Amino acid sequence: MRYLPLTDADRSAMLEKIGAPDVDALFVDVPEEARLDGPIHGLPMHASEMAVEKHMRRLSKKNLAASDAAFFLGAGAYKHHVPASVDHIIQRGEFLTAYTPYQPEIAQGTLQMLFEFQSQVAHLYGCAVANASMYDGSTACWEAVAMASRVARGKKRKVVLSGALHPHYAEVVKTMAKFTDDEIAHAKPAMQAEPDNAGLMARIDDDTSCVVVQYPDILGRVTDLQPIADAAHEKGALLIVVNTEPVALGAIKSPGEMGADIVVGEGQSIGVGLQFGGPYLGLFAVRDPKHVRMMPGRLCGETQDAEGKRGYVLTLSTREQHIRREKATSNICTNSGLCALAFSVHMTLLGEKGLRQLAAENHRLARIAADKLAQVPGVSVLNDSFFNEFTIRLGQDARTVVRRLAKDNVLAGVSLGRLFPSHEDLSDGLIVAVTEATTEEDIDTLVSALKEALA
């Protein structure tokens, strides 16, 4: 077996040193009746690199890759161009095959990168401090809700969720709340040009620990967060803002600037790629440094070594499970280190100038798509405001239309029926995302495919 270096001669010599007659003698503590007497039945034996590659390629080919289609899916995962150097750097063995930097003297590469990453995220979000990443946006969202409960010292039990929060994120929060006894106030999204902020703010009361709002929201709408922040703060609640498209923040105000207390999001757009939903990259930041010690997840901080040289270490770990056990701020152990590296490299390549250009190009193409789709008979565009995705209504079940168009390699968008299956009245909605990777030809393909399908 090509990955196992020991030879039979090695094994014999080692057993002799150990003083065991055979390898089974090392498994003596396993009860006899539980020991398997040979390779597990029903599974194939080892295979060559070539054979495995062939098998996996056959499975890969059963999928329609985004790049082989006219592609308009978003709703929490976006297709962006990732520069080739990003993938090259994350495949360097020193990054790829290292672990959590428990020994900082020989992990400065990962640690400095994480410090830079934290700084980039904090700047992007308009916050003071970001952590070294979480699993993904949806779990970061739940961790933010749990943190708000800690800030309220468990005295406030109500969590107000915007109806226009990604339904998977809302489901994660609701699932966890079942086990922590938080009360969730949630409504379905209002199918209007503007989100129902008045309705949202009316649900905030003295028992509310936090309000969770997505920006831009699941339907693509961009709304001023300041009034919501003011309403939350008036009742002593925190405003948690969820962002699933970090590229947007190269064009629109940061959540921190508008009073968000905790900003979380999905970082996949920058550097990570689609990957059928994972691994992705949870971003987590707080606006006010006083909340740092309540944060979940790893934090990297600056310090110096015995010779006075600047260096970096994981810090404030007294919040974490390996020290605090059942009193930890979270049970989280790993972060999403390699995805954080991909994000950081891509963001460094972009820089502020590139990010603004990238955002502008996304918005330009999205405007073209919205204008052209608005001309298709039977289609209406819901949004007044949007960044790179918006919602259209088709006057019929969008799921059916999406499946039909997929047969012609047009991946038209994400149907609201798939995301909100229990709300029949949303089923004619389709979320359409447009990025710099979308061509005007793709947009024309979608327009004519929809014309045909709706005729």
Interaction residues for another protein, span 360-379 (CB under 8 A): 360-361, 363-364, 367, 370
For residues 51 and 205, which CB has a smaller minimum distance to another protein in the complex?
51
For residues 235 and 283, which CB has a smaller minimum distance to another protein in the complex?
283
Selection from 53, 121, 60 nearest residue 271 by Cα:
121
Q: According to the binding rule CB under 8 A, does residue 129 interact with another protein?
A: yes
Binding characters for another protein, 233-252, by CB under 8 A (x = yes): ----------------xxxx
Contacts of 77 (CB under 8 A, 6+ apart): 244, 266, 268, 274, 277, 280
| H-helix segments, 375-439 | 398-406, 416-419
Residues 4-63 touching another protein, rule: CB under 8 A, are 4-7, 10-11, 13-15, 17-20, 23, 25-31, 33-36, 38-47, 49, 51-53, 55-63
Among 206, 352, 408, 424, binds another protein (CB under 8 A): 352
Among 203, 357, 451, 454, binds another protein (CB under 8 A): 357
For residues 417 and 429, which CB has a smaller minimum distance to another protein in the complex?
417
For residues 119 and 378, which CB has a smaller minimum distance to another protein in the complex?
119
Among 205, 374, 421, 440, binds another protein (CB under 8 A): 421
Among 158, 231, 263, 386, binds another protein (CB under 8 A): 386
Backbone angles phi, psi at 238, to 5 degrees: -95, 145
Residues 100-119 touching another protein, rule: CB under 8 A, are 100-110, 112-113, 115-116, 118-119
Span near another protein by CB under 8 A; candidates 205-213, 228-236, 332-340, 444-452: 332-340
Cβ atoms within 10 A of the Cβ of 207, count? 14
- Tokens for 132, please give them: 């070294």
Closest separation between CB of residue 189 and another protein, Å?
Answer: 15
Span near another protein by CB under 8 A; candidates 204-212, 228-236, 334-342, 442-450: 334-342
Q: According to the binding rule CB under 8 A, does residue 202 interact with another protein?
A: no
Alpha-carbon distance of 195 to 349, in angstroms, equals 35
- Tokens for 120, please give them: 């980039």
CB contact at 8 A, 233 and 258: no
| H-helix segments, 375-415 | 398-406
- Tokens for 58, please give them: 């056959």
Among 21, 70, 123, 241, binds another protein (CB under 8 A): 123
Among 8, 155, 309, 375, binds another protein (CB under 8 A): 309
The single-letter code of the amino acid at 276 is F
Widest CA span in the chain: 82
Alpha-carbon distance of 238 to 351, in angstroms, equals 31
- The DSSP secondary-structure symbol of 394 reads -
Size of the site for another protein (CB under 8 A): 219
Q: How far is CA 21 from the centre of its chain?
A: 51
Residues 249-288 touching another protein, rule: CB under 8 A, are 249-254, 257, 266, 273-280
For residues 202 and 333, which CB has a smaller minimum distance to another protein in the complex?
333
Among 154, 199, 304, 396, binds another protein (CB under 8 A): 304
Q: According to the binding rule CB under 8 A, does residue 153 interact with another protein?
A: no
Alpha-carbon distance of 34 to 26, in angstroms, equals 15
For residues 87 and 452, which CB has a smaller minimum distance to another protein in the complex?
87
**Which of left, alpha, beta for 291 (phi over 0: left; psi -120 to 50: alpha)?**
alpha
CB contact at 8 A, 301 and 316: yes
